Amino acid sequence: MLQILPLPGDGPPREAARPGRRPLYGVAVSRAIEQRAAATLPPHTLMQRAGMAVARLARAWQPHARRVGVIAGAGNNGGDGWYAAALLHRHLADVPGAAVCVWAPGGVQRLPADARWAYEAAVAAGVRTVDTPPDDAELLVDAVFGLGLARPVEGVWRDTLRWLHAQATPTLCVDLPSGLDADTGRWWVDAPVAPRGDRLTLSLLTLKPGLFTGMGRAAAGEAIWFDDLGVPADDAPTAWLQTTAAWPDGAALRRAHASHKGSRGDVLVIGGQSPGAGAGVGMGGAALLAGRAALRAGAGRVYVGLLAEARDLPPCDPVQPALMLRTAAAALGSELPQRAVVVAGCGGGDAIHAHLTDLLARCPRLVLDADALNALGPIAAPSASCPDVWRERHTRGWWTVLTPHPLEAARLLGTDVAQVQADRPGAARTLAKRLNATVVLKGSGSVTAAPGVTPIINGGGDGALATAGTGDVLAGLIGARLAALDATSPADTAAAVADAVAAHGDLVRHWTSPWPPTATDLIA
């Protein structure tokens, strides 16, 4: 579960531009904030505050830990560790059998000024330094790398992190789990980090985007804490973190006594290739899941246009008989594409390719998912010139939402999954800019990006969503959210899409059964 809890003295959370959001700051802005604050404060104040915050959380989290091992790097992240060690040593001074030690595998010869000051404070306090890993520690403090890591970890540091990540000891990570890229969520160590319940991360001064996407959530552990070190920041954020879903609002729908089904917005799903159309491969379930999700989320009327012959249509969806089924050809031949938000591609298979141009030319509000994204490939290719049908969408002020998972995004970008995952915010931004569309790059920490809009990283959702069909549910939710939306500025569209992504993540937040939910369970 994600927790971002201010420590005592942290003050109330700063104002976010929209409810349920917190600002995230990348390395460059975080360093600018740090330098600005340092210029007005007595020397070493920020490191002192950082060390105090680390020691305070360590004591609150593991009050009975008597043997504490701090692993200190060669930069200021290590400095935070040294100063925390000094405070913990003082706190444990009278406890029998207690010991605080620091292991600094890179030595202390070339510490930057702040870290040297913290090191000297630790030595003066009587903290023991050790030359070997603290194998008997009851609490480990990971102060190896923070903001300064932006390249592969090798040599002695790789060995250090491999040792650290193999420990089953409760571990408090200072600022960032060592190995994580603060900007991107990329993991710079050539060994994976196991997700563990007894690991915490205390983010200092700012919350960083990398903590919440890519490998961030898995590496940061059970909870992410935040201490702003008493430094208010109102800089433009690098990205927003969406912490809660403000949608759907069932109570507001009920209060709207004068509403009717036509006022709640229509959604048309196009997809669900029939086995006949798809050489024996049927995917009708995907379109039904999207349609059911849209209905569950409050769309007034939901139509499902199946990629099938009329004779192959089921009479109704027995789970949600309120869905209106028809063939994709009949749906696209009607006035529905102009009126409804069209969600295209869920289970679309190869059969969706034949409809792509029609969809682009006739649907002012279009969500492209799954196979529709694959069909879009030639249009999106980096070398492709923008076809008229795509250009006209923008001229007319029509909007398009793309919801790729990393492989679909890689195909659209002409790259591979590893490159996409190495910088998820960057990949989402590039795709959004290239196609002038709102893009949701799905996966751990889904990123919603749109041209000229600050990206939004979803803080909810977890591994329980990693099962077939949950993406179809998301596509349906996005359709329903957009169908209820009047305004269509890029920022409003992106915010609405991010609302749906957050609501999707919330579907698993309160799931308590030991059995993971299926996509159907999410909207049961």
Ligand X SMILES: NC(=O)C1=CN([C@@H]2O[C@H](COP(=O)(O)OP(=O)(O)OC[C@H]3O[C@@H](n4cnc5c(N)ncnc54)[C@H](O)[C@@H]3O)[C@@H](O)[C@H]2O)[C@@H](O)CC1
Annotated binding-site residue numbers for AMP? 442-446, 471
Least Cα distance to 500 among 448, 454, 462 occurs for 448
The amino acid sitting at 298 is G
* Of 159 and 249, CB closest to ligand X: 159
With CB under 5 to 8 Å by kind, the binding choice for 255 among ligand ADP, ligand X, none is none
Token digits of residue 332 = 């696209």
Q: Which of 471, 476, 493, 496 binds ligand ADP (CB under 6 A)?
A: 471
* Of 151 and 396, CB closest to ligand X: 151
* Of 203 and 446, CB closest to ligand X: 203
Distance CA 267, CA 298 (A): 10
Please name the residues in contact with 34: beta carbons below 8 A apart, sequence gap of 6 or more: 46, 205, 231
- We find the least distance from the C-beta atom of residue 229 to ligand X, in angstroms, to be 6
- We find the least distance from the C-beta atom of residue 407 to ligand ADP, in angstroms, to be 8
With CB under 5 to 8 Å by kind, the binding choice for 73 among ligand X, ligand ADP, none is ligand X
3-class state of residue 258 by DSSP: coil
With CB under 5 to 8 Å by kind, the binding choice for 181 among ligand X, ligand ADP, none is none
Distances in Å between the Cα of 314 and the Cα atoms of 332, 349, 509 are 19, 19, 34
Residues numbered 348-377 forming contacts with ligand ADP, rule: CB under 6 A:
370
Residue 171's H or E segment, with its range, is strand 171-174
**Contact letters for ligand ADP, residues 167-206 (x by CB under 6 A):** ----------------------------------------
With CB under 5 to 8 Å by kind, the binding choice for 145 among ligand X, ligand ADP, none is ligand X
With CB under 5 to 8 Å by kind, the binding choice for 80 among ligand X, ligand ADP, none is ligand X
Distance CA 481, CA 484 (A): 5
Tell me the residue ranges of DSSP E strands in 311-468: 324-327, 341-344, 365-368, 399-402, 438-441, 447-450, 453-458
Cα three-residue angle 136-141-142, rounded to 5 degrees = 115
Residue 61 CB coordination number (10 Å): 17
* Of 80 and 472, CB closest to ligand ADP: 472
**Contact letters for ligand ADP, residues 399-438 (x by CB under 6 A):** ------x---------------------------------
* Of 66 and 116, CB closest to ligand X: 116
Going by the annotation, the residues of the binding site for (6S)-NADPHX are: 286, 347, 405, 472
Residue 275 CB coordination number (10 Å): 14
* Of 144 and 370, CB closest to ligand ADP: 370
CB 163 within 8 A of CB 192: no
Contact set with ligand X (CB under 6 A): 34, 38, 46-47, 50, 73-78, 80, 112, 114, 145-149, 151-153, 157, 174-175, 204-205
Token digits of residue 165 = 């990540």
CB 365 within 8 A of CB 397: no
